[in-house]
Amino acid sequence: MNVETIFFYLLGAVFVGSALMMVTRRNPVIAALYLILNFFCLAGIYLTLHAQFIAVIQILVYAGAIMVLFVFVIMLLNLSDERRLSEAISFKKIVAGGLSVALLLELLYIFVYRKTDLPTLNAERSIEIGTVESIGRHLFTKFLFPFEVTSILLLAAIVGAVVLAKRRLD
Amino acid sequence: MATEIVLISLLKILVVVLTILTCVVFLVYIERRVSAFVQNRVGPNRTGPYGLLQTVADVVKLLMKEDIVPRNAYKAIHDLAPIISIGVALSTFAVIPIGDTIELFGRQIKLIIADVNVGILYILAITSLGVYGITLAGWSSNNKYSLLGGLRSSAQLISYELSMGLSIVGVLMVSGTLQLDKIVQHQTTYLFGWLPAWNMFLQPIGFITFVTAAFAETNRLPFDLPEAEPELVGGYHTEYTGLKFGLFFLAEYANMITASAVITTLFLGGWHLPYVEYVGLSSFILSLVYVGTFCVKVAAVMMFFIIIRWTLPRFRYDQLMNLGWKLMLPITIINVLLTGIVLLILH
Amino acid sequence: MIEQILHSLSLFLPETTLTVFFCAAIIVGLVAGRTSRASLYVALIGIALATWFAIQQAGSSEGIFTGMVVVDPFATFFKLLIGMSAIVILLFSLYSAEVQSTAHRHIEYGSLLLAMTLGMFLMAGSTNLLMMVLAIELTSLSSYVLAGYTREATDSSEASLKYIIYGAVSTGLMLYGVSILFGLTGATDFYNINRALATGSVNATALLVATIMIVAGFGYKISAVPFHFWTPDVYEGAPVTITAFLSVASKAAGFALMMRFFKTCFIDANALGLPAGMWASLQGFEWNKLLAILSVLTMTLGNLVAVWQNNLKRLLAYSSIAHAGYMLMGVVVLSDKGLAAVLIYFIVYLFMNLGAFYVVMLVANKTGSEDIDTYKGLGYRSPLISVAMVVFFISLAGIPPTAGFIGKLFLFAALLDAKWIWLAVVGALNSVISLYYYVRVVRNMFLRDPERNAEPVVFSAPQVVIVLALLIPTILFGLFYSPIVELANASVVMFGMK
C-alpha cells in the first residue's frame, strides 16, 4: 500500500463522514461547514489523482465562492435550527427508503462484481492530463464548443437572476 | 531521500512561520509609530529602547487574559474561527518564492516551500477561504454587531475577490505560467535593455487594481468596514478576548505581510534586484542578496499599507460596493482584453 | 483546427443567429427603455431568422465542432418545430394579459425565450454527453425563470420554485448516470459509447442503473411518470404562454435528445437479419421494455388524473403528460416507422396543443379565470373561439377528421407492425378515457346555459387570426396528411446511422 492509497482511504473516510454529518445536522450553518469539509476532501482526492488544477479549482470555486455565498445567505436569513415536525412513518417514506437502499446495493454490486474493463491510464499520462496546460489545450480545441455554450448558459443565468432578485417591482 | 525532502520542507516552514510571527510584532510597533508620526504624537516609547518592547508586552497581556465565550455563542465555531483566520493567513506563504535557489551543505535548495505548478490559483483559493474565519466569528458570537461585521466582510471579500482574480489574469497572460517562481524569473529580464521587466510596468492597470483589491481583502483602511469601530463596536471580533483575539490580530497583520509578499512577487519583480547579476558576486552571496531584496521590497509595500491607513478616510458601504462592482470589475476585464490585444499584435 | 471551426460555424448559422439576437435583445431593450416591446420584436425576428436558416440546412448531414453537435435532417426537423412554436408563443405573448402586465420585464422575457430556444436547438443536435447536459441546463435555467416570470403572483413563484427543485434533482440524477456511463465506456461521444458498448465488455447491471438515471433527466423534460410531479403545478402557475411553450417545444426537444441518445448509443449496429427500417437493442439490454413501462405509466396516470381536474391549465397539463406517454410508444418499437410516427405526432401536437392553450389564454384574459365553470355556455358568448376549442380538443382526443387522429393512427400502425399488441391496446383504452375529459369541457361550452347577464365575449382581429392559423392546420392535416408524413419520413435520418 503506497502513500497515495493511504491518503485515498483517509480522505474517503472523512469525505463520507462529513457528507453524513452534513445531511444529519439541524443547524444550517453547521451543515454548510461540513459540506465545505466535504469539498476539501474531494479536492484532496483529486490531488491523489494528480489533478492539481481541478483540485485547486474545486476549492476556489466551491469552497471559496459558492459556499461563501451559501453561508452568507443563511446568515442573512438568520435561519434557526430546523424544527422537527411530527414525522410519522408513511408509505412514501418506506418506498423512498427502499428505493435508496436498492440503488445503493445496485451501485455496490456494480463496483464489486464489475466485469467491465475500465479504461486505465498509466501514472505518467495521468500526471500530464492534470496540468493546466493540458486542460487548457483541450478546453480550447476539442471542447471549445461546450466551453462557449457555458458562457451563454451563464449569461442566461445572470438575466434570470436579475428577473428573480430585483427588489423594485416597478 | 524522501525523509530529507520532508525535513527540508519542515525546516522551511518553520523558518517562514517564525519570521512572519516575529515580523508581526515589529509591524505592529511600526504601525503605531507611523500613526503617531502622522497624527503628530509620540507613540509608544516607554517599554524598552524606543518602545520596541511595547508589542511584546501587549502579547504577554493578551496571553494572560481570561478567555470569555458569550453564553449563547456557538462554542465550537467560536473557537474554530480564529484558527481558520490564522491558518489561512500563514498558508498562503507556501507558494511564494522568497529567493532564488541557495546552496547549503552541498545541496541546491529552492527558496520556496511548495513549488506547485498552479501557484497563483493556490493563492486565490486560499485567500478566498479567509472570509470564513471572519464570517464564522461574527455568526458564532451571537451578537448583532459581530454578525453585521461578519456579513459585511463576506460581501466585501466576495466583491473584491473577483477583481483580484481578474487583475492577475493580465500577469498570467504576459508571463504564460501559473508558477510563481517562473513569473519571477520572467521579471528578471529587461525591457529596452534597461527597464526591469517588472509586471508593474507591463501591467500598470492590473497592478493598481490588484493593490486596491488587496487592501480590501486584508480589511485595511479605507476598506476596514467589517470592523468599523464607530458603527460596529469592534466588528466580528467584538466578543473575543485573550488569546483568540490575539490570533485575529495576528492574522490581520500576517495577512498584510502575505499580501505584500504576493504584490512583490507578482508585480515588483519578486526577489530580483536589477543589474546585480552584472556585479559578479559569488552565487551564495547573490542568493543572500536576493533574499534581502525580497525582504526590503515586502517591507516597502507594508510601509505603503500603513501610510495609506493613516491618511485616507473610510469608504461608506455603498461606495465600497459601487467601487468594487461598477469600477474595479469593468476595469480589470478591460485590462484583460487590452492585454490580449497587445499580445496578439506583438506575436 | 481553425478551418474546422470556421467550417463548423458555417453550419451553425441558426444557433449563431439566436446567440447574437440574445445579446441584441438585452441591448435593444436597454436602449429602447424598460417598458418598450422592442425586445419582444427582436426575439421574434431572431427566432424567425434562425428557423429560416434551419430550414436552409435541410438535407445536410454532418457532425460539427469536433463531433459535439450534428446537423442532420432529424435535428433540422426539431429545430423547425421548436422555432415555429417559439414564434407562435411570441405572438401569443404580444396579446397575453399576464405578459403585458409585467411590461417592465420585457427585456428579460425576450432574451430568456431566445436563450431557451437556443438551448432546445442544441438539445436537438447534441451527440455528446457533455453537450447534452449543457443544452438541457441552458433550456432548464431559462424555463425556471420564465415559469416564475409573473413574480407578483404567488402561484407563479411557487411554480418556479417547484420546477427548480424537481429540475435540480432530476438533473443531478442524470449527471450521476452520465458519469457512470462515462466511467463504463470511457467516452462522452454517443458514437464512441455505442462502439464501446458493442464490445460486450460492459456490465449490464451497471448500464441499466446508468440508463435509469439518465432517463430521469429525459423523463423530467418530457414530463413522463414518475418524473412528472412538477408538471401540473408549473403549468398552472406559469404564464399561459410559457406553459404552452413548455408543453410543446420543451417536450419536443426532450424527445429529440432522448431518441437520438437511445438510437445512437444503445442499438446493436451489427445486428443481422432485421427487416428494413427496424433496429435491435443491444444484446442483453432491452431498454425499450423500460420505455414501454414508462409509456404505460405515463399515459394511464395522465389520463386518469386529468378526469378529475377543474382547472383548464391543470387539465391540459395532465393531458400533455398523457400525450408524452403516447409518443413514448413510438420509441419503444425500435423502428424508423415508430420514429416517424413520433415526428408526425409532434407536428400535429404543435398545432392542437398550442391552439388549446391559446384559447385558454384568451378566455382567461377576458374572464380572469381558467376554471371549467367559466366555460359554461361559452359557445353562445363566443361561437368562433368555442368551435376552435372543440376542434382542438377532439383533435387532442384523436377523433377523425382532425389531425390528432392521423398522429394516433401512425403511432398505432407502427406498434402493430412491430407486434406490440398489448401496448397498442393500452394506448387505445387510454384514448377512450381521454375522450371523457375533453368532451366534458365541450359539453360545458355548448350544453350548459351561460350565467345570467353574460355578455358576448369579443376578441380582436389579430387574436382571431392567430386562432385560425392554428385551427386550419389542425383540420387540414387531418384530411391531407401526406405532406407531414413525407416530411417525417425524410426527417428520421440521423447523422452516422444507417
Contact state of A71 with B129 under an 8 Å Cβ cutoff: no
Contact state of B154 with A72 under an 8 Å Cβ cutoff: yes
* Alpha-carbon distances of A133 from A127, A128, A137, B347, C351, rounded to whole Å: 11, 9, 6, 19, 51
Cα–Cα dist C307/C426, whole Å: 17
Q: Is C145 on the interface with A (CB under 8 A)?
A: yes
What share of chain A has pLDDT > 90, as a percent? 22
Q: Which amino acid is at C29?
A: G
Phi, psi for residue A138 in degrees, rounded to 5 = -65, -35
Q: Is A156 on the interface with C (CB under 8 A)?
A: yes
Cα–Cα dist C386/B174, whole Å: 69
Q: Region A136-156: what's the mean pLDDT?
A: 90
Predicted confidence at residue C393, as pLDDT, reads 92
CA C97 to chain CA mean position, Å: 24
pLDDT at A55 over 60: yes
Of B117, B131, B138, the CB nearest to A68: B131
Chains A and C form CB pairs within 8 A to the count of 101
Q: Is C374 on the interface with A (CB under 8 A)?
A: no
Closest residue in A to C12 (Cα–Cα): A145
Residue boundaries of the structural domains of chain C:
297-498
Of A29, A64, A132, the CB nearest to B129: A64
Per-residue pLDDT reduced to its tens digit, B9-66: 888 888 888 888 888 888 888 888 888 888 888 888 888 788 888 888 888 888 888 8
Cα–Cα dist A27/A80, whole Å: 7
pLDDT at C82 over 70: yes
Contact state of C22 with A152 under an 8 Å Cβ cutoff: yes
Q: Smallest CA–CA separation between C323 and chain A, in Å?
A: 27
Cα–Cα dist B125/B132, whole Å: 12
Chains B and C touch, using 3 or more CB pairs below 8 Å: no
Contact state of C203 with A114 under an 8 Å Cβ cutoff: yes
Question: Which residues are paired to A148 by β-bridges?
Answer: none
Q: Smallest CA–CA separation between A108 and chain B, in Å?
A: 34
Q: Smallest CA–CA separation between A105 and chain C, in Å?
A: 11
Question: Angle C421-446/C403-417 helices, nearest 10 degrees?
Answer: 170
Q: Is C160 on the interface with A (CB under 8 A)?
A: yes
Q: Smallest CA–CA separation between A34 and chain B, in Å?
A: 12
Per-residue pLDDT reduced to its tens digit, C210-267: 898 999 999 999 999 888 889 999 998 888 899 999 999 999 999 999 999 998 888 8
> B125 contacts in A (CB within 8 Å)?
56, 59-60, 63-64
Per-residue pLDDT reduced to its tens digit, C360-371: 888 888 887 888
Contact state of C205 with A110 under an 8 Å Cβ cutoff: yes
Cα–Cα dist C112/C118, whole Å: 10
pLDDT at A115 over 60: no
Per-residue pLDDT reduced to its tens digit, C423-456: 999 999 999 999 999 988 888 888 887 777 677 7
| C357 vs C97 pLDDT, higher one | C357
Predicted confidence at residue C18, as pLDDT, reads 94
**Exposed (0-12), middle (13-18) or buried (19+): which is C342, by Cβ within 10 Å?**
buried
3-state secondary structure of B9: helix
> A154 contacts in B (CB within 8 Å)?
none
3-state secondary structure of C334: coil
> A145 contacts in C (CB within 8 Å)?
8, 65-66, 68-69, 131
Contact state of C142 with A163 under an 8 Å Cβ cutoff: no
Which candidate in B91, B95, B132 is best for mutational testing of the A interface (most A CBs within 10 A)? Answer: B132
Which residues, at least 6 apart from C326, have a Cβ–Cβ distance to it below 8 Å? Answer: C295, C299, C345, C408, C411, C427, C430
Q: Smallest CA–CA separation between A102 and chain C, in Å?
A: 11
Q: Smallest CA–CA separation between A53 and chain B, in Å?
A: 7
> B161 contacts in A (CB within 8 Å)?
64-65
Residues in chain C: 498
Question: Which residue is associated with the grid cell 461598477?
Answer: B326
* CB within 8 Å of chain A, chain C residues 8-27: 8, 19, 22-23, 26
Cα–Cα dist A159/C118, whole Å: 15
Contact state of C111 with A103 under an 8 Å Cβ cutoff: no
Q: Is C385 on the interface with A (CB under 8 A)?
A: no
Predicted confidence at residue B192, as pLDDT, reads 79
Q: Are C175 and C210 in contact (CB under 8 A)?
A: no
Cα–Cα dist C106/C87, whole Å: 16
Which residues, at least 6 apart from C468, have a Cβ–Cβ distance to it below 8 Å? Answer: C388
Predicted confidence at residue A1, as pLDDT, reads 63
> A115 contacts in C (CB within 8 Å)?
201, 203
Cα–Cα dist A55/A62, whole Å: 10
* CB within 8 Å of chain A, chain C residues 104-133: 104-105, 108, 111-112, 115-116, 118-119, 122, 128, 130-131
Which candidate in A95, A152, A169, A170 is best for mutational testing of the C interface (most C CBs within 10 A)? Answer: A152
Predicted confidence at residue B186, as pLDDT, reads 84
pLDDT at C61 over 90: no
Of C104, C180, C205, the CB nearest to A170: C104
Strand pairing class (C62-64; B190-191)? unpaired
> C160 contacts in A (CB within 8 Å)?
164
Predicted confidence at residue A79, as pLDDT, reads 65
> A110 contacts in C (CB within 8 Å)?
180, 203, 205-206, 209
Neighbouring subunits of B (3+ Cβ pairs under 8 A): A
Of A103, A107, A163, the CB nearest to C108: A163
Contact state of A72 with B151 under an 8 Å Cβ cutoff: yes
Phi, psi for residue B43 in degrees, rounded to 5 = 85, 180
Question: Which residues are paired to C70 by β-bridges?
Answer: C63
Neighbouring subunits of A (3+ Cβ pairs under 8 A): B, C
Closest residue in A to C151 (Cα–Cα): A164
The model's pTM is 0.89
Residue whose C-alpha is closest to residue C368's, from C160, C118, C151, C97: C97
Averaged pLDDT in 10-residue chunks for chain B of 347 residues: 79 87 86 86 82 84 83 85 89 84 75 80 87 85 81 81 88 86 84 81 88 84 66 72 84 88 88 80 84 90 87 80 88 92 89
Contact state of C108 with A109 under an 8 Å Cβ cutoff: no
3-state secondary structure C246-302: HHHHHHHHHHHHHHHHHHHHCECCCCCCCCCCECCECCCCCHHHHHHHHHHHHHHHH
* CB within 8 Å of chain C, chain A residues 114-143: 114-119, 141-143
Closest residue in C to A108 (Cα–Cα): C206
Q: Region C397-407: what's the mean pLDDT?
A: 89
Q: At A87, is the pLDDT very low, low, confident or very high (cuts 50, 70, 90)? A: low
Residue whose C-alpha is closest to residue B271's, from B163, B183, B144, B330: B183
**Exposed (0-12), middle (13-18) or buried (19+): which is C200, by Cβ within 10 Å?**
exposed
Cα–Cα dist C444/C375, whole Å: 6
What share of chain B has pLDDT > 90, as a percent? 7
Predicted confidence at residue B194, as pLDDT, reads 79
Predicted confidence at residue B37, as pLDDT, reads 87
Cα–Cα dist A128/A119, whole Å: 17
Question: Which residue is associated with the grid cell 459581530?
Answer: B146
Predicted confidence at residue C296, as pLDDT, reads 94
* CATH at residue A48: 1.20.120.1200
Of A30, A57, A68, the CB nearest to B154: A68
* Alpha-carbon distances of C444 from B58, B270, C239, C312, C429, rounded to whole Å: 86, 83, 24, 12, 24
Q: Is residue A170 part of a domain?
A: no
Q: Smallest CA–CA separation between A119 and chain B, in Å?
A: 27
Predicted confidence at residue C17, as pLDDT, reads 94
Q: Smallest CA–CA separation between A153 and chain B, in Å?
A: 19
Overall domain count for chain A: 1
Residues in chain A: 170
ipTM here: 0.89
Chains A and C touch, using 3 or more CB pairs below 8 Å: yes
Cα–Cα dist C277/C273, whole Å: 12
Cα–Cα dist A113/A107, whole Å: 10
Q: Region C11-17: what's the mean pLDDT?
A: 91
Predicted confidence at residue C140, as pLDDT, reads 93
Residue whose C-alpha is closest to residue B160's, from A163, A52, A68, A59: A68
Which residues, at least 6 apart from C465, have a Cβ–Cβ distance to it below 8 Å? Answer: none
Q: Is C250 on the interface with A (CB under 8 A)?
A: no
Predicted confidence at residue B233, as pLDDT, reads 64
